[in-house]
Structures are given as C-alpha cells and as structure tokens.
Amino acid sequence: MNTEDINEKRIRSIFRMLVALSRGNFSYKIKRTGCNDYLEALIMWFNMTVEELREILKHYSYINPRDSYRYLVQMSFVLDNQYRIRRFNAPVPDLLGYEEKTFNNKLFKDLLSGESLETWEAAKDKLNQWQQYAVQLFFSTRQQFLVPAFCTLSRLRDSEGNPSGILVTSTETVLQEDLRDHTSLESTGTAHDKPAAFHGEPDIHLLQKVYDHILHNLEKPLPSLKQLAHDFGTNEYKLKRGFKQVFKKTIFQFHHGERLRKARLLVEHSGIPLPVIAKMSGFKDYPNFSKAFKKKFGHSPKQLQKQLLQKGRKKS
C-alpha cells in the first residue's frame, strides 16, 4: 500500500471516529500504522483523548452512580472447546462491521487485535484453572478500529458436567438518561436530589477495588463485612458507610443485584440450562434463584426464556 492510500485510510478512520464521538460512542480506538508524521500524531492524540473521556465517564459513574451510567452487554459469543465461534448475539456484526456469515466457525482470536493475542492465550490458561475469568481485550473491526472491551469468560458444561464450550460476554459503559428522575421531577415539581455530601472524603480507589472484587466473584458467597474490611485494609464502619454513600446501596444489595443482572444476561444470550445459570450466578439452587429473579424482574427466568423463544419463532 502506497503512502497516499495509507493517508486516505487514516483520514477515513479519523472521520469515522468523529462520527462515533458525536453520537456519544467512546468505544473505538484507531489502529496505529507505525508512520512517523503529523497524521499519526493526530491519531495518537485522538486515541488518548477518547481513552481519557472513557475514564472520566467511568470515574463519574463511581462517584455519582445514579443509574445515569449503566453497564450493558454489547457482545456475547459461545465458543466450542477449540475456541471457535458457534453462536453470537445480534449486536456483534454491527459493532465489528462484518457480515454474519464471517463469524461462523471462526477462531475467536481472529477477531482480536495483535496486542490482545498474548492476553487471550493467558486468559485461556486461567480458564483452565477457574470457572470464570475477567480480562480486557481489544477487538479489531473491518474498518480498522480497535474496540476495547472488558470481557467475562465462563466455562460451560453439559448435563454430565463435561466441558462443552466457553461463553464470552463483553460490557461497555454507556450514557443513559435516568427516566425515574424525570418522572419524579414531573410528578412532584421538585428538582433532583443533590448527591449526598461526604462526611469525611471516602476512599474512592479503595471502594472501586471492593466493587470490582465483588463483581468478579459473583459465583462465590459474599464474605462478611468484617472479612471484606480486613482483606482491603480498612474497618467495617468506613467500608459500610463509604460504599453506601458512593453507590447508593449496601454491599449486600449490590452483590445480590449484580448476580441477578448476570443471570438475566445469561438467560437472554447464552442458551445455557436455567439450573446451570443459577449455579453460575452464585445461587444454591434453582427454586431460590427463580424466586429472587421474579421478585427483581417481575417474571421468572422460565417465563423470560419462553418469551425469547416465541420472539425468535416469530422472526423466523
């Protein structure tokens, strides 16, 4: 490829990124070409700016988490034991820019950027030791963008307990208006509640570590507050009060809610048997899981699965 073609390709990439940014999408990075010129410096600046914006949004979601920023699943893949793609959810072709047939039987690593291949190999080794592992990967799009994604890898098993594949789910922080706040404003005529003032600045970095630890260990029983405080070098009072101040919910409420959120995503996108989903989400048995699920979402996991099957039949 000559210099003019490379420059045209880079300019198109910058234009696509500007369009994505104008729509509030901070998911993309532009692939570097290795050229040593002003255009490459501009690309590097764009990538750094987008990364900083992503971090600002992520940080803001921690210090004022009023549902304005939500983690939503963007992509889901079901891989076989050779790490080939067997199933994927609807957003995948749109996000990566490929036709659906491109993904059939494709090695998952072929969707990743070169910088993520080593990380992927290490993640596979971890998955052989643990049932679940979280890692950041960079996907490569047809338009030569890089899509950073925090992925959860989960080992799937058949009814006899034998390994049957891997579920890969990625999440992304997206900006979403809190409709409940608007409803409250319209019905009461009062302004939004102001964020609670901190009585003594909470340790945001510590609380974020606790938050991440819980999020990555949802299948395990929640440790006692005393144990969590000890593990993170703080005391029970500071941990309990700080977590509630920052996240507007107790540690137990957060843990329970995220278990159910994970379970719902698995019901919607994985095709895994419901009793297995219950165990993967940390519930002791299916009846308790079903009861908690219905209380949270207004319908049982079985009812949701049935609705999804009916919608699938209508589309086909």
The string of DSSP codes covering 194-240 is: PPPPPSS---HHHHHHHHHHHHTTTTSPPPPHHHHHHHTTS-HHHHH
pLDDT at res. 8: 80
pLDDT at res. 310: 77
d(CA 128, CA 140): 25
Which residue positions in the chain have pLDDT lower than 50?
58-71, 173-200
The answer to whether 210 and 232 are in contact (CB under 8 A) is yes
> Same structural domain for residues 187 and 71?
yes
Domain boundary, last residue among 173, 193, 213: 193
Classify residue 221: in a domain, yes or no: yes
Classify residue 92: in a domain, yes or no: yes
How do residues 220-264 score in pLDDT, each as one tens digit? 889 999 999 999 998 998 899 888 887 788 999 999 988 898 888
Q: What share of the chain is helix, strand, coil (3-state, %, to 5)?
A: 55, 15, 30
* SS3 state of residue 250: coil
Burial class (CB in 10 A: 0-12, 13-18, 19+), 316: exposed
CA 228 to chain centre: 24
Q: Is the model's pTM score more than 0.85?
A: no
> Same structural domain for residues 87 and 178?
yes
Domain boundary, last residue among 147, 175, 193: 193
How do residues 89-100 score in pLDDT, each as one tens digit? 888 888 888 899
CATH value at residue 160: 3.30.450.20
For residue 282, give every residue at least 6 positions away whose Cβ sits within 8 Å of its Cβ, in sequence order, or none.
218, 219, 220, 221, 259
CA 45 to chain centre: 26
pLDDT at res. 184: 36
In the chain, the amino acid numbered 174 is V
The answer to whether 118 and 206 are in contact (CB under 8 A) is no
How do residues 261-280 score in pLDDT, each as one tens digit? 888 888 877 677 888 888 88
pLDDT at res. 163: 79
> Same structural domain for residues 312 and 237?
yes
> Same structural domain for residues 188 and 208?
no
d(CA 180, CA 139): 34
d(CA 237, CA 245): 12
Classify residue 58: in a domain, yes or no: no
The answer to whether 259 and 281 are in contact (CB under 8 A) is yes
In the chain, the amino acid numbered 143 is Q
Residue at token pair 């000890």: 230
Determine what percent of the chain is predicted with pLDDT higher than 70: 74
Q: Domain count of the chain?
A: 2
d(CA 269, CA 131): 18
d(CA 54, CA 276): 34
> Same structural domain for residues 238 and 312?
yes
d(CA 211, CA 188): 33
Classify residue 34: in a domain, yes or no: no
> Same structural domain for residues 146 and 221?
no
Domain boundary, last residue among 193, 224, 244: 193
Q: Which domain holds residue 175?
A: 65-193
